[in-house]
């Protein structure tokens, strides 16, 4: 499919922006008992009202969980292939509505249209994989230790799952949580990020159109304190799937542990690209810059630090600098734009603070970092993507997750030092190595403290491989892929005497 044009997006927004939406509970759109709403605005045109959403309360959460709990009684009994058939239809509908979803996504989050369209199509791919998994909920038949006994294990859905998504991927992340839940027979209460709930409205509509029964998926919009906390603490919620900051993930895990609810946590990252050797430095630079600045650097798997051998450093920095300068900053609908604004002013200010901290600590700003505020940039939270060198591993810019368009370069003397520096952070989500030497690649893949390893390419994941991290980057079962079964189901052993 061709990427929709800038004119298409602007015309669509003129017609469809400005509406008010309720929560989606038990198959119906309902207003919160709070009687209050809040607005969201275009990330690249902050005077354009996109939509208004409910300021929901604990009572709204209770109604949604009640609906999901009641629906679970029948949904869990639906044959897996029938659940899969609904998910296949949902995947088709995602593709059919990809342009509209991309317009909504780009407007509320800020990423350029090509990225938004790619996110929607990726969500469709992941849905199809989950649909297939509904046919493969496997148990085991095991030899008995006594005569006339048949032993087996089966998988059963855990029940109502609370799903809490971040603002940076408001289509693929909720789909990544909802689709496996439905495949394995669970029901869902979903809370989107308060900053980006608009696409969630469309996702609910498409799920309903695909044939998801009432109460199986519910949407409650609101703050973390008013919606997230009561959802996490609800006695009928058996599992919490959360994507977001490490600090918040730890808090959720502590609350869930008090009542032995399961958790699936996708948290922060400080992902290295270790560069040892190469045939084509420009190809390496393209891979790194693409992985660093997609979604304006606002993604947990972004490459945020380059660790390179000293003798390769200058050549690589020159190639990185060339690639970074080619990034075209602009609104999603602008032809040629390759990086949009940050999601909001608060996020921009946080990134700017890190840029100042890096300079104060002695890192050298080679390019970018400055705010863009004139003309078309006046209506969004724009900045020039930043590249630092002369970075040391003890600096905050090398240790902490910036979550913005900032890339650092750290030169080291030996391969062993490169590996040590790569591991010298509290995170362990994704990591890349660039090398011509097969042995070095295998050594790196073995010793790097990371949930995902990429050899000679950026930190892009696949729609069927487990996704997750180690250390402070994740907890519980990896998402995507077959590993989801460990979170959404529980094991039951059956002894049958005949």
Contact criterion met (CB below 8 Å) for 208 and 28? no
Q: Which one from 115, 266, 379, 401 is the annotated catalytic residue?
A: 266
With b meaning 16 or more CB within 10 Å and e meaning fewer, what string describes 15-26? eebeeebbbbbb
Closest to 427 measured CA to CA, from 283, 269, 216, 225? 269
Dist CA 40 CA 19 (whole Å): 11
Contact criterion met (CB below 8 Å) for 195 and 51? no
Dist CA 228 CA 63 (whole Å): 14
Closest to 266 measured CA to CA, from 193, 166, 195, 350? 166
Q: Which residue has the tokens 């901290």?
A: 357
Longest Cα–Cα distance in the chain: 82
Contact criterion met (CB below 8 Å) for 358 and 388? yes
**Active-site residue, 486 included:** no
Dist CA 396 CA 416 (whole Å): 22
274, β-bridge pairs:
307, 433
Dist CA 39 CA 197 (whole Å): 10
Report the catalytic residues. 266
């Amino acid at each position: 499919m061709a990427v929709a044009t800038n004119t298409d997006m602007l015309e669509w927004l003129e017609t469809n922006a400005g509406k008010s939406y309720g929560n989606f509970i038990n198959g119906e759109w309902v207003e919160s008992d709070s009687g209050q709403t809040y607005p969201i605005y275009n990330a690249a045109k902050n005077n354009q009202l996109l939509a208004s959403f409910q300021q929901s309360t604990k009572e709204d959460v209770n109604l949604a969980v009640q609906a999901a709990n009641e629906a679970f009684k029948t949904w869990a009994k639906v044959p897996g292939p029938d659940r899969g058939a609904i998910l296949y239809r949902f995947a088709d509908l995602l593709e059919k509505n990809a342009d509209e979803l991309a317009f909504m996504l780009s407007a509320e989050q800020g990423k350029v249209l090509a990225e938004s369209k790619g996110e929607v199509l990726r969500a469709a791919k992941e849905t199809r994989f989950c649909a297939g998994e509904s046919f493969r909920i496997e148990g085991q038949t095991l030899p008995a230790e006594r005569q006339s006994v048949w032993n087996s294990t089966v998988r059963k859905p855990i029940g109502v799952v609370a799903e809490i998504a971040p603002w940076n991927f408001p289509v693929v992340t909720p789909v990544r949580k909802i689709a496996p839940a439905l495949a394995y027979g669970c029901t869902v209460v979903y809370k989107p990020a308060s900053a980006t709930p608009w696409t969630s409205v469309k996702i609910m509509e498409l799920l309903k159109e695909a044939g998801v029964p009432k109460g199986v998926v519910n949407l409650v919009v609101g703050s973390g304190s008013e919606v997230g906390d009561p959802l996490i603490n609800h006695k009928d919620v058996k599992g919490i799937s959360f994507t977001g900051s490490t600090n918040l993930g730890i808090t959720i895990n502590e609350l869930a542990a008090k009542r032995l609810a399961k958790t699936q946590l996708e948290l922060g990252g400080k992902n290295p690209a270790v560069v040892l050797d190469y045939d084509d430095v420009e190809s390496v630079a393209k891979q790194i810059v693409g992985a660093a600045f997609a979604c304006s650097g606002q993604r947990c798997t972004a490459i945020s630090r380059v660790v390179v051998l000293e003798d390769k450093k200058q050549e690589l920095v020159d190639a990185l600098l060339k690639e970074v300068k080619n990034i075209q900053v602009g609104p999603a609908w602008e032809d040629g734009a390759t990086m949009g604004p940050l999601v909001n002013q608060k996020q921009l200010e946080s990134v700017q603070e890190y840029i100042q901290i890096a300079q104060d600590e002695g890192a050298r700003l080679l390019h970018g970092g400055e705010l863009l505020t004139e003309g078309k940039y006046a209506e969004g939270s724009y900045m020039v993507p930043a590249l630092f060198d002369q970075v040391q591993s003890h600096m905050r810019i090398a240790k902490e997750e910036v979550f913005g368009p900032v890339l650092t370069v750290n030169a080291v003397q030996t391969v062993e030092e490169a590996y040590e520096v790569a591991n010298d952070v509290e995170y362990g989500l994704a990591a890349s190595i660039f090398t011509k030497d097969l042995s070095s690649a295998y050594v790196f893949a073995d010793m790097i403290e990371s949930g995902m390893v990429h050899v000679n390419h950026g930190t892009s994941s696949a729609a069927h491989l487990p996704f997750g991290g180690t250390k402070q980057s994740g907890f519980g079962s990896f998402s995507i892929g077959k590993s989801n079964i460990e979170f959404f189901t529980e094991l039951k052993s059956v002894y049958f005497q005949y």
